[in-house]
Amino acid sequence: MQLKRADVVTGALDLLDTDGLDGLTMRKLGARLGVQAGGIYWHFKNKEALLDAMADRIVGGLTQTPLAPGPWDAQLTELAHRLRRALLAHRDGARVVAGTHVPEPNTVRGGEHAVRILADAGFPIDRVGWVVFAVLYYVLGHTIEEQAQRAAGDWERRVATLADEDLTRAVSSTIGADPEERFAYGLELFLDGVRLRLAEARP
């Protein structure tokens, strides 16, 4: 059976889940798919192009289900939570997406949704993209740290070595918190700032 582009992406995501981003090589992927590396390069000119396609697949579910009608901040919140869940669905998923700038269909649709939410709310169009990038950076950064923390484990022992009592309590309450609750809190802090800027922009 001829190897298809979609098969390569699926195999790459499977390899990502087992070996992580650092263990994802074209040689390993070729072995997993039962082809020479040249068979992969027929579909992707280099590893970066493959990672772009993987990133687009990872975010593919963002807009499959329409967002519930409601205020702009509720919709942007839901979109951010969907992105986090999509990134967490694959080992190192956040690192894969963070390292790409993907003009692929799923990524473009996700960006269009976010832009439309803010533009319809009345946010100045010349700053809408800035807000979208800022929330994207927050989701990616939080999820990268979340996945790294999960992989490292044993954080209690390392926190115990801190000398400052207040720092120890602050770090423990942060790292030991439920990641989803911590994510939602930070997102709400971010949205507070967006709400303020939107109020200033309205006549």
Give the pLDDT band of residue 13 (cuts 50, 70, 90): very high
Q: Is residue 138 within 8 Å of 192, Cβ to Cβ? A: no
Name the residue type at position 172: S
Spans of all domains in the chain: 5-45, 72-201
Q: What is the pLDDT of residue 103?
A: 76
Question: Is residue 1 scored above 60 in pLDDT?
Answer: no
Task: Compute the distance between CA of residue 86 and CA of residue 36 in angstroms, rounded to an integer.
Answer: 30
Strand ranges for the chain from DSSP E: none
pLDDT tens for 99-143 read 887 677 888 899 999 999 999 999 999 999 999 999 999 999 999
Q: Tell me if 5-45 shares its fold with 72-201.
A: no
Q: Does domain 5-45 have CATH number 2.40.128.640?
A: no
Q: Is residue 67 within 8 Å of 110, Cβ to Cβ? A: no
Task: Compute the distance between CA of residue 62 and CA of residue 83 in angstroms, rounded to an integer.
Answer: 6
Query: Where is average pLDDT lowest: 42-46, 114-118, 163-167, 194-198?
Result: 163-167
Q: What is the pLDDT of residue 70?
A: 94
Look up residue 50 and give its two tokens: 């493959």
Q: Which CATH architecture has domain 72-201?
A: Orthogonal Bundle (1.10)
- Give the number of C-alpha atoms closer than 13 A to the C-alpha of residue 117, restricted to the C-beta side: 26
Q: What is the mean pLDDT of residues 71-78?
A: 96
Question: Is residue 155 scored above 70 in pLDDT?
Answer: no
